Structure 1
Amino acid sequence: MTTLIDSAIAEYLLKTTAPRPQPHLLMRERLGSDGPSVRDYAVVVVQAPAGYGKTSLFSQWRREQLARGVAVIWFSSDERDDAQRFLLGLVQAVRSGCARPAFGRLLMDGGIAALGELEGITAWLAEVSQLPGDVLLIVDEAERLPEAGRAALAYVLHNAPRNLRIVVAARRGFDDIVGDLLAYGQAVLIGPDRLSFRLDETIALIGKRFGPRIDADACARLVQLTDGWPLGLQLALSAMTRAADPLQIIEAMASNTGALRDHLVGALLANLSDDDKAFLTCISIVDTLHPALCEALTGDARSGDRLARLMRETPVFVTSEASAWSRLHTLVREVLMVRAARLSDEELVRLHSAAAAWLSGQRMIEEAARHAHAAGQLQTAYDLAEACLHDAVKQGRLQAVLDWLDLLPEAELERRPRLRLAAAWALALGERHREAEQQVGHISAGQEEDRALRYECALILSAAAYYADEIDRFVEIFSPWIDQPPESGSWLVQAHANRLAARAIALGEPAQARRQLQRMPRGDVGKGVGFLVRWGDHIGALSYLWEGQIRLAGEILTPALASAEADLGRRHPLTCMLAAMAALHAYESDHADRAAALLANRLDVLERSGTPETVAIAYATAARVAAAQGQEHRAVDVLEALYAMGVMRALPRLCIVSLAEQIRLHAGHYRGATCEALMHRLDGAVAQAAPRHGPLWQRVVTPLVARSRARAAMASQNWPLALEALGETHEPADAQTLGRDRIEFMALRALALDRAGREGRALLLEAMNLAQAGGLARTLADAHPALMDWILRIAREEGDAGHAGYAASAPPVAHPAAPRAPSGPRAVPTVVLTPKEREILELLARNFSNKEIAVAAAIGEGTVKWHLKNLFGKLDASSRKHVVRRALVLGLLEGA
C-alpha cells in the first residue's frame, strides 16, 4: 500500500498542479468567478465541447480567487481515477495548493485502505472544513472519470462544507449528476453559449496581442468567421502571430479559396479515421444536424452513435444541452463543404434528395426547398418555396427570399403570386426598391377587387418609397389607408402600426409616433411577429433620437438590439439599423470605443439594406468616432464613402450629409478655403435634388445646409455672415422640438454672437442645460472646438457640477508628477502565507540577502531565518530559488 501511495504522489504532483497560464490570457469580466451569475453558488459546472476555453476560464478564476485570499486546489481527472485514486488526488491537491504538507496524513498512512470509499471522502471533507479560510476546488476534465470516480465527485458536490466551493469542467453529460442541485438552486450550469467570445472580448483579446494594428472592423469579421468559437479564434490568432501582416490572415480566411481555412481545420481533423472524415463531409451539406437526419443522409443506422462520439471527441460541433440538434462550426463546415463539392454528381443528388425528404417530413419547408432545388427536383422546390417564403418575410428572413428570386424563372413567378409578393417585400426593404415597384405592378394587374392584396401592395410601395428617401411620396402612398387597418389577428396589424408611427415622424410628430406604437400589445416576441415588433422598437428609438432624448432612446435600443442579434443575427439588416442608432447613443454618451464596436463589420450591410436615415446616422457616427480618436484621415475617408454611396443609390440626402459633416470637420480647424469648396459642392447637390422632392424632404435638408453655411463662414471667421446663416435655421429648428439640431443651432448661434461682440452666454447656458437633460455629452463638443473651450471656462468660473459631463469630454491631461504603478514581484493575498511571509517572499524574489531582508522588513536576521524555514516547509522547497519557483507555480507570487 505504501508503494502505491508513494508512486501515486509523484504522479499526482502533476495532476494537482495548475496548467501554465497562457501569456495572453484575457480576463473576461463577464465570466468572472465572483460575477452575479455564479457568485452565490457553491457548485459551478462548466459544460461545453472541447475547444470552448474551459481550462482557460479556470486559469482566470484561479488567479481571481488567489488575489482575494482564497486557497485554490486543482485536480485534472483521467480514466484511471476510481474512488481511491480520486481521494488520493484530493489529498495531494490540498497539500500542493494550500502548502500544507501534513494535510491528510492519517489517510495517507494506511487510512484509505481501512476506510470505505465514501468514508474516506467524508474524512477528507471533514479535514477541509477545519482549514482556516475559504477553499476553491477546481476539477478539470471530469467527463473522463470512471463511474466510481464520478460517484465520489458527486458525493463531494453534495456534501461540501461551507468553506469549500467547487467548480467542475466537463464536455457532456455532467448536468445529470448535479441535476438535483441545479433544480434546487444550489448549483449553476455554464454552457457553450456563454463561453463563446463576444465582439468586445475579441477586441480586447486581439488588442493585447497586436495593439492598434487590428481595428474593430477586422475583429468583427474574425468573430463572424469563427462564430466566437474560442478554439477557432485561437487557431486564427496563432496564424496571425506568425504572419508579417496579421490582417492578411483574416482576408485569407474570408476568401473563397479557403486554403488557410483548410490548413487550420485540417489540424483539428488530422487524427480522425477516413470513415469519420467521410461522415463529416457528408453531413456538412445541411445547416443543422440531428441523429435521425444523419441516418437519412448516410443510410447507416449507427450514424447517431457516430455523431454522438464525434461530438464528445472532436471540438468542431456547436451543441445545445436541451436539444438533440447541433451544428458544425462555421469555420469547419465551410472547409467540409468544399470537400463535399468534390463528390460525384450522383452522390450529391442522393444526399440533397435525402435531406429534402427528411426535412420536409419535419415541416422544415424552407430548408427542404433548398435541398430539393440542389437535387434537381425543381417543381417540388418551387412548391415548397411558395408554401414558406411569404412567412419568411414576416420573420425577417429577407436574404432567403432574395436568394430564391435568383433561382425562380419569370414563368414560375407568373404562376405563383404569393412568391412574387414575397419577392416584392424583400426587394422593397433595401436598395432594390425600384425592382419592388415593378413586381407590385405585376401583382396589381387585374386585382382591383381584392382589398387585402391592394392594401399589402400599398405597404410594399410605401416601404419602397421610404427606402428611396422619397418622404413625401411615402406619406402620400399610405395616407388613403390610415383609417383602413387590416383585420384584427392579421400579421399586418403590427405592420400598420409601424407605418403610422413612421408617418408621424415624417410629419414631425415623434410623440404621436410612440402613441401609435403603444396601442399595440407587445405579447410574446416570438419568431412569428418578432421581426415586426422590433421594427416598432426601431421607429420608437428613432422618435427619441429625433427629439434629442438620447437616454430614452437607449432604454429601447439596448434590449431590442440584444434580442435582434440573438434571433436574427448580428449582420441582419434590421439588427444593423438598430446597431447604428445604438452607436449614436454610445457616442453621445461619450463611449467612442463602444460605438466603434457596434458599427464594426456592419457598414457594408447598411450600405445595401439600410434606410437612408440609419445609413446617415451610421456613417456620420463612424466619422465622428474616428475624428475623436485622432484619425481625421479615416473620418474623411468614411464621409467620402458615404458620398459615393449616395450617388450609387441615387440618395442625394446621403451626399448632403457627407458634405455637411466634412464642413463641420474642417471648420473646427478654420480651413476656410476647403469649407468654401465643400459648400459649393453642397449647394450644387441641393439644387439638383430639390426639384424632385417635396416639402417634407426639404424640411429635413434645409437646416442642415444652413448650419453648414454658418460653419463655412466661421471657418473664415466671418461672424456676421455666420449669424445671418444661423438666422435661416431658426424656424425649421423650432419645428423639430428639442432635437439635437436645435441644441446645436443654439450653441453655434451663441458662439457667433460672442465672437461678434454681442451677448451669447445665456443662449449657450440654455443649450448646455438642454444637452445635459437629454444625455447629449458630445453634441456641443462636436459642434465647434471653440465651444468646448468656452464651456470649460464657464464650468470653472461657476463651479457648475451640472456641466461635468462636458468637462469630462475634454482630453485628459496627465500630471507629470503622477505616481507610477508599482512594478516588480508581488505576493498575492492568501491564507496560505502570513503577511510577513508574503513580504519576505517578495524580497526574496528580488534577490535580497538575509541582511538586506532584515533591513527592509525591520526585523532581525534570526527572525528572517525563522520565516524562511517556514516558507521552505510550506512550499516544499529546498533552496531560496526553489521557494520563488514554487510560489510562482502555486500562484502565490506574480510579476517575478
Structure 2
Amino acid sequence: MRPPRRSTRVVGRERLLTQMTEARRHNCVVLEGAAGSGKSTLLGAWYQALLPFGFDVAWLTLSPEDNDLARWLDDLITSLGQVDPEIVREAALLAGRGEDEEATERTLIALVSGIRRRTQQLVLILDDLHCVTAPGIHETLQWLLDYAPANFHLAMASRAAIPVSLGRLRDRGLALELGMRELRFGAAESEAFLKAQLGEVSRRDARRMHELTDGWVAGLQLLAVHLERSRGAKCTPGAQNPDSPPQLTRSHLLDARGYAEYFEREVLAQLADVEVDVLIGLASCTTFCASLSVALSANGALPAQHDRVLALLARLEGDHLFVESIGEAGGATWYRFNPLFRETLLQRFRQWDDARQREVHRAAWVWFREHGRPDDAVRHAVLAGEMTAAADLVLQVAPQLRVKGELRKLLGLMRLLPAEEVEARVGLRLWEAQLQLFTREFDACAAGIPHLLSAIPAEDRAARFRLAITRSTLAVQHDDTEAMSAIVPELLTVSDAADSIGIGGRNNLLAWHAMHEGEFERSREILASAPTLFVDGMPLVGTPAGALFSRCMMGMSYAIEGRFLQVERICRDVLAEADRRGNEAVEAACIASALMGEVLYEFNELDAAKQLLEERIDVLERTSIPDSVLRVLKVLSAVQWMAGHQLDAFAWLERLEEYGAKYRLDRLLAHSLADQLQRHLQCGQHRQAEAALVRLETLGAGIDPSCRGTRAQIAVQASRGRILWSIAEGNDERASAEIDKLGDVCDAHGWQRDAAHFQLLGAVVDQRRGQAEKARQAAVGALRRGHRLGLTRSMLDVGPEVLDLIVNAAPADPSDAVLPFYASRLQSAHLATQAPGSEGAQRPGEPRQQANALDLLSERETEIVRLLMHAIPNKRIARALSISPETVKWHLKNIYGKLRVSSRDEAVALIRNLHPGSGETPWFTDDPL
C-alpha cells in the first residue's frame, strides 16, 4: 500500500508527468502498457508530485491473490483508511456483510459518501490492475467511477485493457488515457536512461538501442545489463578506461539473451504452440495483417480462418503483448511487433529448416504481389529463391513507382536483385542508369551508356527513346549544352511507344536546351504548346516529367532573361501546389524554391530569401540541377554580405566552388570566382582578388562569349572579372571598353537583367571619367530596362556610387513620372538595408523611418498587414490569399524587418499608431476575407 521504492538511477518522465499533473482533477487516469513500460515508476513520481498540491493519495498494488471480492474490498478500504479513517468508517462496518451485488453496492456507496464529506482532494492509485479479473471486482470499479464525487480521482495501471467503461468521462474531457505510444521513451529519454544505467554511452549507440527496443523501458534495461556484463568481461586489470562501454554493433546488441528469456516467459508461454508458430512465421514480415497471417499459416497447424487469426492479433494487442496496430490500409488493420520481440521470433524462425523458411517467404511474396505491395513482394521472392520472378516484378512496377515519385523505393528493389538478373534485362539496365542519375553517380551512368547503346537494337525505338532521355538528363547535370545539342534530333523523334512520362521529360529537356541557347520564346512555346499528359487517367503533375516541373522550366527561362515579375507569379503557385503533392513533386519544389529565393533577393526581401534557401540548400544540392544550386548559393552569399557577415558570404561562395569542382561544372566555378573576386576587392584584398582573376582567365580562355550555350557564361564571368579588376586599378578606359562589349553580348543572348546591370555599371564608370551626359543617358536606359523587369538588387549591387547616379538621372525628364518613382523605390530599398549606425540610416523605432517602411510594403505585404489587423491566424491568411502558410511566414518576417518590429502584436500596434482608426480608414476598407 505504498509506491515501490524508486531506483536512484530512474530517469524522470517530465513529458508524461507534466501531462498527468495537469490532469490531476480529472476523474480518471489510465495507464495501459506492456510489462516493463514504466507504469509503476511513473505513478510513483506522480504520487510525489501531487503532494505539494495538497492532494491526499492512497496507493494499492494488486496481485493475483487479490482476485477475490472480499479481499479486494478489504484492501480497498484499508488503503483509503490510511489516508483518513473517517472516510471508510461506515464502509468498514458494511463490508463483509454479504458478497451479493446489493451488499457490495451498499459498501461502495458508503465509501463514496465518506469521500464526498471531505473537502480535501483524494487520489486512489491502483497498480497492476490486470492481476484481478473477477467480474464483481470490475463492477465495483465501475461504481467507483460512476458515483465518484468531484474531489475523488481514480488512477489505474494495467498491462491489459481496463475493464470499465470510460465513455461518459471521455465525452466530458475528464479521463486521461496513456497507452504504449505515450509510455515509450522518446529518443532523448532513452539516451538519458542509458547514461544513467551505463554512465557513458554515445548518442549513436543510444539511438540504435532506442530503435531496437522501440523505446520500451524494460528492453533498454535488459540491454544495459547485458552491456554492463560485456564490459566487465572485457575489462582487464590494466585497462585504461574500464568504465567505457564496448563499441556497439547490431549483432552485439542482438546477442543479448535476457530479453529472449523475458519474452519466452511473459508472452510465448501464454500462447498455444500453433499460435506461437503463427507469430514466428509473421516475424519474417516487417508488418502484417490478418489476411497475410492466414496466407502464411495456411499450410501450418493453425486452420486458415481469418476470424481466428484476427482474434489472436486483437488479443495480443489488447493484452499489450508487444503487438501494435499501426493503421488501416486496403480495408485491413495492420500490425507490427516490438523490434526486440520480433528478433526473438526471428531467432526461432531461423531454426526452422530451409524448406520451411522458403515456403513462408514464397507465400509472403505471392500475397504481397497480389495486394500491390511490390517492395515487400520482391524482398520475399528473393528470400524464397525466386530470382527471375523478383526481377520481372521490379520491371513491371518500376513505371508506377516513378509516377509516384518513389525512386528511392525502386532503388531499394533494384539493390535486392542479383547483378546477373539486372544484366540480363535491358529494361532493368535502363532503370539502373536512371537511378544512377537519381543517386548522382554521374560517372557510373556515363560509363554504362555506351554499353546500352550497343545493347539496344535500332528497331527498339521505345528503349532508344528512353536512353535518349537518360543521356539528355545527364547532359543537364553536366551543364553541357553541346552534348545536349547532339541528342536533340533523337528527342524530336518521339517513339510511338513513348509514354506520357517520356514525352513530358522530353519537353522539359528541350525547353532547358532552348533557354540556354538564348531562345527563350521557343523554350516557352515548347512547354505551352504541349498537350496535357495523363497517366492512368490522371493528369501528370509531379516527377520531372510533370506539369509542375514544366512550369518551373518556364520560370527559369524568365529568370535567365531577368523578368522576375513573371518568375514570382509562377514560383509561388508551384510551391503551393508542390506542398500539397509531397514526394511526387520534390524536384519541382527544389527548382521553384531556388528561383523564388532569387526573386526574394532581387526584390530586396533578404530575410525571406535567407530563410527559404538555408532550410533547403542541403536537399537542393543532393537532388536538383546545377542551375538551381548556382542561384541558391549566390543568393545566400549575397544575403550574408548585405548583413555584414563577410566570412559567411565567402563560405557560401567557397561551397559553390567546391560543388562546381566536384561535378566539373565550369560555369558554376566561374560564377563563384567572379563573385569572390568582387568581394575580395571590396575588402581591399587585392592579392586574393588577383589570384581569382587568374583562375577566371584560365577558365574562360578560348571561349567566344558570343557562342551559344552555357559556356558563354564562363566567358562573360571572366570578362566581368577583368572589368572589376580594371575599375579597382583605376583603369576606367579599359573598363569602359570591356563593359561596352559585354553589354552587347548580354543583349545578343537576351540576358536583360545582366544587360541592365552592366549598362548601369558603365554609367558609373563614365561618371568617374567625367562624361556626365553619357553617364546620364546610360543610367536612364538602364533604369527604364530595370523598371520594366522589376529589378532592385541588380541595380543597387552595381556599387556604392550608383545610388547618387540613379537619383540624379531620374528627374531629368519632367514629363516622365515613371523613372522618378522607380528611383525613389530603389532609394527606399537602399535605406531599408543599411546597417544600423551607418551614414544615412535611422535609429530603429524612429517614426519617420517606420513611416517610410510602411511605404515600402509590397502589395501582397499590404494585404497581409490588413488581415493582421483583424487578428486572423496564418492558416486563414494563407487560404484567403491562396498561398501556402510557409509563404505567409516569409512575408511576415519581411514585414517585421521593414517595420522594425519582432511580432504580430508590435506590427499591429505600430500601424495603429501611424494610422489611427486603421480598422475603419480607407487604408483598411476592404473586407479581410
TM-score, with structure 2 as normaliser: 0.54
| C-alpha contact 1:586 1:595 (8 A) present in aligned 2 | no
Give 1:798's aligned amino acid: Q
Q: 1:381 aligns with which of 382, 387, 390?
A: 390
Q: Quote the residue 2:288 is aligned against.
A: 289
Matches within 5 A, 1:756-767: none
Deviation at 1:748, TM superposition (A): 1.9
Q: 1:793 aligns with which of 811, 834, 842?
A: 842
Q: 1:258 aligns with which of 241, 247, 250?
A: 250
CA shift digits 1:197-229 (9 cap, x unpaired): 9xxx9799999999xxxxxxx999969994996
Q: What secondary structure, in the 3-state scheme, does the structure 2 residue paired with 1:751 have?
A: coil
Give 2:802's aligned amino acid: L
Give 1:426's aligned amino acid: L
Q: Quote the residue 1:369 is aligned against.
A: 378
Q: Does 1:564 align with 2:577?
A: no
Q: Does 1:273 align with 2:286?
A: no
Q: Does 1:434 align with 2:434?
A: no
| C-alpha contact 2:30 2:156 (8 A) present in aligned 1 | yes
Q: Quote the residue 1:391 is aligned against.
A: 400
CA shift digits 1:329-360 (9 cap, x unpaired): 77997999899889987776566445434434
Q: Does 1:532 align with 2:539?
A: no
| C-alpha contact 1:751 1:760 (8 A) present in aligned 2 | no
For 2:577 and 2:668, locate their aligned partners in 1 and report how far apart those are by CA, in whole Å: 29
Deviation at 1:403, TM superposition (A): 5.1
Matches within 5 A, 1:550-699: 557=575, 560=578, 564=582, 589=607, 606-607=621-622, 609-616=623-630, 640=654, 643-656=657-670, 659=673, 671-685=685-699, 687=701, 695=708, 697=710
- Judged with a 3 Å threshold, the aligned counterparts in structure 2 of structure 1 residues 313 and 594 are, in CA distance, closer, same or farther, namely farther
For 2:219 and 2:638, locate their aligned partners in 1 and report how far apart those are by CA, in whole Å: 33
- Judged with a 3 Å threshold, the aligned counterparts in structure 2 of structure 1 residues 486 and 747 are, in CA distance, closer, same or farther, namely farther
Q: Quote the residue 1:319 is aligned against.
A: 326
For 1:281 and 1:63, locate their aligned partners in 2 and report how far apart those are by CA, in whole Å: 43
- Larger RCO (alpha carbons 8 Å, 6+ apart): 1
Identify the range of structure 1 (385-394 vs 306-315) with the bigger mean alpha-carbon deviation. 306-315
Q: What secondary structure, in the 3-state scheme, does the structure 2 residue paired with 1:749 have?
A: coil
CA shift digits 1:776-827 (9 cap, x unpaired): x9x996xxx86995685386563334479679779x999xxxxxxxxxxxxx
Give 2:263's aligned amino acid: L
Q: What secondary structure, in the 3-state scheme, does the structure 2 residue paired with 1:325 have?
A: strand
Give 1:379's aligned amino acid: T
For 1:511 and 1:480, locate their aligned partners in 2 and report how far apart those are by CA, in whole Å: 20
Q: Quote the residue 1:301 is aligned against.
A: 302
| C-alpha contact 1:46 1:54 (8 A) present in aligned 2 | yes
- Judged with a 3 Å threshold, the aligned counterparts in structure 2 of structure 1 residues 224 and 60 are, in CA distance, closer, same or farther, namely same
Gaps of 5+ in 1: 1-9, 211-217, 244-248, 815-896
Give 1:301's aligned amino acid: L
Q: What secondary structure, in the 3-state scheme, does the structure 2 residue paired with 1:463 have?
A: helix
For 1:224 and 1:314, locate their aligned partners in 2 and report how far apart those are by CA, in whole Å: 20
For 2:72 and 2:57, locate their aligned partners in 1 and report how far apart those are by CA, in whole Å: 14
Give 1:377's aligned amino acid: E
Deviation at 1:53, TM superposition (A): 9.5
Q: 1:423 aligns with which of 418, 429, 432?
A: 432
Q: Quote the residue 1:467 is aligned against.
A: 477
Q: What secondary structure, in the 3-state scheme, does the structure 2 residue paired with 1:376 have?
A: coil
| C-alpha contact 1:501 1:513 (8 A) present in aligned 2 | yes
For 2:713 and 2:60, locate their aligned partners in 1 and report how far apart those are by CA, in whole Å: 65
Q: Quote the residue 1:749 is aligned against.
A: 798
Q: Quote the residue 1:880 is aligned against.
A: none
- Judged with a 3 Å threshold, the aligned counterparts in structure 2 of structure 1 residues 694 and 415 are, in CA distance, closer, same or farther, namely farther
| C-alpha contact 1:670 1:715 (8 A) present in aligned 2 | no
CA shift digits 1:722-775 (9 cap, x unpaired): 9999996896774489999954323323534369999799999979968999xx
| C-alpha contact 1:395 1:530 (8 A) present in aligned 2 | no
| C-alpha contact 1:672 1:713 (8 A) present in aligned 2 | no
Give 1:385's aligned amino acid: V
CA shift digits 1:575-608 (9 cap, x unpaired): 98899899999996569799767667x58xx54x
RMSD: 7.8
| C-alpha contact 1:175 1:189 (8 A) present in aligned 2 | no
Q: What secondary structure, in the 3-state scheme, does the structure 2 residue paired with 1:272 have?
A: helix
Give 1:446's aligned amino acid: A
Q: Quote the residue 2:905 is aligned against.
A: none
Give 1:697's aligned amino acid: T
| C-alpha contact 2:637 2:649 (8 A) present in aligned 1 | yes
| C-alpha contact 1:504 1:513 (8 A) present in aligned 2 | no
Give 2:479's aligned amino acid: D
For 1:167 and 1:552, locate their aligned partners in 2 and report how far apart those are by CA, in whole Å: 57
| C-alpha contact 2:362 2:380 (8 A) present in aligned 1 | yes
Give 1:258's aligned amino acid: R
Q: What secondary structure, in the 3-state scheme, does the structure 1 residue paired with 2:333 have?
A: coil
- Judged with a 3 Å threshold, the aligned counterparts in structure 2 of structure 1 residues 487 and 714 are, in CA distance, closer, same or farther, namely same
Q: What secondary structure, in the 3-state scheme, does the structure 2 residue paired with 1:392 have?
A: helix
Gaps of 5+ in 2: 96-100, 196-202, 232-243, 270-275, 304-308, 755-784, 812-818, 858-892, 903-929
CA shift digits 1:38-64 (9 cap, x unpaired): 9xx999999887899999999999999
- Judged with a 3 Å threshold, the aligned counterparts in structure 2 of structure 1 residues 486 and 573 are, in CA distance, closer, same or farther, namely same
| C-alpha contact 1:261 1:331 (8 A) present in aligned 2 | no
| C-alpha contact 1:296 1:358 (8 A) present in aligned 2 | yes
Matches within 5 A, 1:112-261: 120=108, 146=133, 226=211, 257-258=249-250, 261=253
For 1:136 and 1:220, locate their aligned partners in 2 and report how far apart those are by CA, in whole Å: 40
For 2:54 and 2:731, locate their aligned partners in 1 and report how far apart those are by CA, in whole Å: 67
For 1:540 and 1:498, locate their aligned partners in 2 and report how far apart those are by CA, in whole Å: 9
Matches within 5 A, 1:495-534: 532=543
TM-score, with structure 1 as normaliser: 0.55
Deviation at 1:709, TM superposition (A): 7.7
- Judged with a 3 Å threshold, the aligned counterparts in structure 2 of structure 1 residues 488 and 658 are, in CA distance, closer, same or farther, namely closer
- Judged with a 3 Å threshold, the aligned counterparts in structure 2 of structure 1 residues 582 and 749 are, in CA distance, closer, same or farther, namely closer
| C-alpha contact 1:643 1:658 (8 A) present in aligned 2 | yes
For 1:61 and 1:464, locate their aligned partners in 2 and report how far apart those are by CA, in whole Å: 61
Q: Quote the residue 1:850 is aligned against.
A: none
Q: What secondary structure, in the 3-state scheme, does the structure 1 residue paired with 2:710 have?
A: helix
Q: What secondary structure, in the 3-state scheme, does the structure 2 residue paired with 1:324 have?
A: strand
For 1:619 and 1:27, locate their aligned partners in 2 and report how far apart those are by CA, in whole Å: 43
Identify the range of structure 1 (642-651 vs 313-322) with the bigger mean alpha-carbon deviation. 313-322
Give 2:476's aligned amino acid: Y
Deviation at 1:544, TM superposition (A): 7.1
- Judged with a 3 Å threshold, the aligned counterparts in structure 2 of structure 1 residues 490 and 227 are, in CA distance, closer, same or farther, namely farther
Give 1:419's aligned amino acid: L
Aligned residues, how many? 747
- Judged with a 3 Å threshold, the aligned counterparts in structure 2 of structure 1 residues 615 and 745 are, in CA distance, closer, same or farther, namely closer
For 2:27 and 2:451, locate their aligned partners in 1 and report how far apart those are by CA, in whole Å: 62
For 1:140 and 1:772, locate their aligned partners in 2 and report how far apart those are by CA, in whole Å: 69
Q: Quote the residue 2:457 is aligned against.
A: 445
- Judged with a 3 Å threshold, the aligned counterparts in structure 2 of structure 1 residues 127 and 744 are, in CA distance, closer, same or farther, namely farther
